[in-house]
Amino acid sequence: MEIFPILLIPLALAGIAVLPGVRAGRSRKFGVLNAAGHFANAALAVLLALGLMRSGGPASFFGFFYADLLSAFFILTISVINFISALYSIGYISADVKDGVMSERKAKAYYSLFNLFALSMLCVPVVSNLGMVWVAIEVTTLVSAFLVGFYNKKESIEAAWKYIIICSVGITLALLGTILFYYTASRDGGISSLNWTDMETVAGSLNPSILKVAFLFILVGYGTKAGFVPMHTWLPDAHSQALAPISAMLSGVLLPTAIYAIIRFATITNVCIGTGYTGNLFMLFGLVSLGVGAGFVLVQRDIKRLLAYSSVENIGIIATGLGFGGTVAIYGALFHVFNHAAAKSLMFFAAGRAVKKYKSHNIREIRGIISAMPFAGAMLIIGVFALTGSPPFSAFFSEIMILLAGFKMGLWPQAALLLLFMAVAFGAIVFNISRPVFGGKPEGMPVEGEPLSGKLAFGILLLLICVMGIAAPGLFRDLLLAASEIIRGA
Amino acid sequence: MAFAMVAAKRMSALIFGFRAQSFFLFLLTFILAFRENSTQLYFITTMLFAIKVVLVPNFLRRVARRIKVNEDLGLSANPTVSIFAAVLLSYMAYLFTGKILSFPGEFENSAFFVSLSVTMIGIFLMMARMKALAQIIGLLVMENGMFLAAASVSGGMPFIVEIAIFFDILLVVIILGVFVFKINKLFTHIDVDKLTELKG
């Protein structure tokens, strides 16, 4: 039952934000309320996961909403990142309003869109119908396009246009895949329903050749949204132009919601024709994305684009993990979804602070973050190592799990490539980020601390990646394990 | 109809082409609804007419008039080449449906072939036309192809999904329209091939 408040809270907040009396910019009250609402959401997500684990089975309402442990995991990740972004937004938005970059009206629009975006992402894992999943994902594009083009500058409008056009085309192809799934389900399976639970029960009798083509459309279509190479071209533009809290949400949780949709289709396909077909495709797209992402990270000069390409690379790792198959690799992939979301948010927040202070995206023009902004600078350094998977941070464990699983299953060339690309990405990110962090700060730049809300956001993220790195709590581990069993179709 | 749109050089002709294509789609689903005599299909048909034949083209025409881009479309491939490409794409769609998918029924085969070609031509329109508005129309043509596939191959998707998809299309068009205005204001043109500030 926790699903309904989880969906209602962002809806209510979106409504409150546009009420005439509410002042979202100058006074921080609304920002605090917003963060509190999303904190409640994250708590509810934990309750949902606990409830589902206790009852052991999925919960469904009206045949329309449906949540199993896989959805619970995604809801948890999304709501945690939403909460932290909401927390970070308080300081970010009020600073923007104070500097006159953003008007009071725009601040209200921001909070409203923020909540609609959160709502649309939360819708994706809780609807039971693959058609509605499609609609929810398309809505995430539409809402977040406004957030990408929020500053109304030439670059941001261009990024928003590319984003919306490329993702819409991609998602139209995904619709074609959905139609084909529906066609074979109604013709060969004898059901006229798009619920994946129904489809899974009849999956054995579906037409394999249509299913193969349909899954290809799904993978390319939703893969556009997830940022697989070569459909990733919108991603660096959109991520670099969006506001920092939104970049964190785009990169940390929007990309995985698309992965979630692909996973749902993949489980149906796997029942019918075995895991080899989908696994190979996942590995192919994963490794290509990983390699290209790592390469672009190496040559990137724009700090936010660099982080965006690192998202492409991380999505590649996740897809490769899903492609390897087997409990360990899938567990690692899901774990990496969470770790990447936390570490990438940390990086985007810290980079956002630096970009604002130096008024430049170029890592050659930014110097001495650590002395100009000691707190954000330190976070940037920690974030670099957390993101690239160094111990003791959590991403190390998810990456090593995927690697080990790959080697153990005898997929030597793939796992070796994975290791190579991860090493390239590690070197590239450390090299490119350490230059702007160290060095002398420009003459006359005042030293600046971090507002309390920002400190809190950073602190929580740091706590998450450290705790998960040292020992994931037992319940979280069980949740991940159960979710990966669902993917394996066990 | 899609072929006529490929050949269209002017915006108004393109919008008219889209309207006509949607109208044919409307006729087709109306026949389908009549044959199966289902209220849901009738309802969908009405929505189709309202949104795709009336609302969306009118909205696009208004946008086009407001920002005064009735001149040429910025073709990167001239009409003859475009027609040739469209024929080629259709033939590929034909091969694809025939060889790889091989639906059991003759009707489904041809319907899927037509819708796939329409979709491909939509993509081609988006790639070869450099005006932002034309890209919107390319996207809509793709959607039309999808709808044809859904309606003819599987007798329509579940009701609520269809409604949601319609709503979605309306939203896409409106939002894209808003962005066209913004692009026009900031760049004083809507040539997408000149949007090149972001690279790498």
pLDDT tens-digit series, residues A265-290: 998 888 888 888 888 999 999 999 99
CA–CA dist A12, A5 (Å, integer): 10
What string of DSSP letters covers chain B?
-HHHHHH--BHHHHHHHHHHHHHHHHHHHHHHHHHHT-HHHHHHHHHHIIIIIIIHHHHHHHHHHHTT--SB--BSS-HHHHHHHHHHHHHHHHHIIIIII--SSHHHHHHHHHHHHHHHHHHHHHHHB-BHHHHHHHHHHHHHHHHHHHHHHHS---HHHHHHHHHHHHHHHHHHHHHHHHHHHHHSS-BGGG--S---
CA-nearest residue of chain B to A141?
A: B172
Q: Is A145 on the interface with B (CB under 8 A)?
A: yes
* Amino acid present at A154: K
Residue window 142-181, chain B: list those with CB within 8 Å of chain A.
142-143, 146, 149-150, 153-155, 157-158, 160-161, 164-165, 167-168, 171-172, 175-176, 179
Identify the DSSP state of A296.
Answer: H
Average pLDDT of the segment spanning B87-95: 79
What residues contact A121, with CB distance under 8 A and at least 6 apart?
Answer: A78, A82, A136, A140, A249, A253, A254, A257
B interface test, pick of A161, A173, A298, A302 with most B CB neighbours within 10 Å:
A161
Please give the pLDDT value at position A312: 92
**Residue, of A343 and B192, whose pLDDT is higher:** A343
Residues in chain A closer than 8 A to B171 (CB atoms): 139, 142
* Paired residues of A66 in beta bridges: A60
Please give the pLDDT value at position A315: 94
Which residue shows structure tokens 């920092």?
A244
CA–CA dist A12, A34 (Å, integer): 10
pLDDT tens-digit series, residues B166-180: 777 877 888 888 888
Please give the pLDDT value at position B25: 77
CA-nearest residue of chain A to B153?
A: A183
What string of DSSP letters covers A394-450?
HHHHHHHHHHHHHHHTT-HHHHHHHHHHHHHHHHHHHHHHHHHHSSPPPTTPPP---
**Residue, of A459 and B2, whose pLDDT is higher:** A459
**Residue, of B77 and A20, whose pLDDT is higher:** A20
DSSP collapsed to 3 states, A383-406:
HHHHHCCCCCCHHHHHHHHHHHHH
Who among A155, A182, A300 is closest to B197 (CB)? A155
Q: Is A140 on the interface with B (CB under 8 A)?
A: no
pLDDT tier for residue B77 given thresholds of 50, 70 and 90: low
Please give the pLDDT value at position A114: 93
pLDDT tens-digit series, residues B116-165: 888 888 888 777 776 777 788 888 888 888 887 777 766 666 667 777 77
Please give the pLDDT value at position A137: 92
* Residue ranges of chain A whose pLDDT lies below 70: 1, 21-27, 57, 490
Query: Please, are residues A318 and A336 in contact by the beta-carbon 8 Å criterion?
Result: yes
CA–CA dist B119, B141 (Å, integer): 7
pTM as predicted: 0.90
How close A242 comes to chain B (CA, Å)?
A: 13
Please give the pLDDT value at position A465: 86
